[in-house]
Amino acid sequence: MQTDPYALFLPAARTTSVVFSSPHSGRDYPWAFLRQTVLDERAVRSSEDAFVDQLFADAPQMGAPLLAARMPRAYVDLNRAAEELDPAVIEGVSAVGHNPRVSSGLGVIPRVVANGRVIYRGKLPRAEAEARLDGYWRPYHACLQRLLDEANAAFGEAILIDCHSMPHEAIESVSGGGKATPHVVLGDRFGASAEPDVVDRIEVAFRNAGLRVGRNTPFAGAHITQRYGRPSRGQHAIQVEIDRALYMDEAEIRPSRDYRAFKSVLSSVIAEIAEIGRGLEMPLAAE
């Protein structure tokens, strides 16, 4: 039986143009996939944005929908274009130009997990890759587009918060000179995916909660911000990367003793971000 392609959590009424999406928090690992991989369970989960969907679970209480992946990133990466197929892991695929994500093994059907660890012994049939795209990638993006279209229709704009987590070592490695590392990195593709005023207000929301905020380094946004960020049309997409050390034991992939306190802090941030998308238009009732 196929796992549902996503989980959608809707508010009783949509009172904000903000939409939250968590494309890398999926943790329904198919048995067939676990039999294919050469990795153990902990290793294969290393690229998962564990618990991010749970951290943002209060979004519907604030009048905003939350869309969350069910399938893991190691199985199909929803933050890649459907065309980013890796010839090194999928049979019958030809290399087209140079794509650094695909070359590094991080295409839409990943070849590796964190730290470059290879997932499979050999290649996958092209039909299997297409089945993953048809079963999970395309339904997720169709739902996300619908949520944004509904926000635009109801409020005259849409603000997509693309929710992720980052390994602590990734942010440590780019902070030199004894500077304090940011707790959160906002990615707007250096201004291409959202209006500066919207990003400024989101940054203030995190800063008001006592969190240090960086922008675009080392994560500026990937396929989702590129695809959906259309600020000239009133559609903004901002990637949010949260330091995993704030709420989880990265080695064990489990919540830390700080998890509940941090989730409470993040709830106030979610409320403030939702406020950015309030308008005078009539709220959109849930289906």
Residue 280's pLDDT is 43
Is residue 208 domain-resident?
Answer: yes
Residue 172's pLDDT is 79
Place of tokens 């279209």: 149
Return all residues near 146 (Cβ < 8 A) that are at least 6 apart.
none
Residue 282's pLDDT is 45
- Range(s) of the domain holding residue 242: 6-76+133-278
Is residue 113 domain-resident?
Answer: no
Q: For strand 284-285 and strand 13-14, is the pairing parallel, antiparallel, or unpaired? A: antiparallel
Residue type, 148: L
Residues of the chain with confidence (pLDDT) below 50:
1, 280-283, 285, 287
Residue 212 sits in a domain whose CATH number is 3.40.630.40
229 SS3 class: coil
- Cα distances (Å, whole numbers) of residue 27 to 3, 176, 211: 11, 34, 27
Residue 175's pLDDT is 64
Return all residues near 40 (Cβ < 8 A) that are at least 6 apart.
none
Is residue 186 domain-resident?
Answer: yes
Domain total in the chain:
1
Is residue 101 domain-resident?
Answer: no
Q: What is the CA radius of gyration of the chain?
A: 18
Residue 287's pLDDT is 46
- Cα distances (Å, whole numbers) of residue 232 to 151, 192, 221: 16, 10, 18
Asked if 247 and 258 count as a contact pair (C-beta separation under 8 A), the reply is yes
Is residue 31 domain-resident?
Answer: yes
Is residue 185 domain-resident?
Answer: yes
pTM reported for the whole predicted model: 0.94
Is residue 152 domain-resident?
Answer: yes
Asked if 77 and 136 count as a contact pair (C-beta separation under 8 A), the reply is no
Is residue 125 domain-resident?
Answer: no
Rounded to an integer, what distance in angstroms lies between the CA atom of residue 198 and that of residue 216? 15
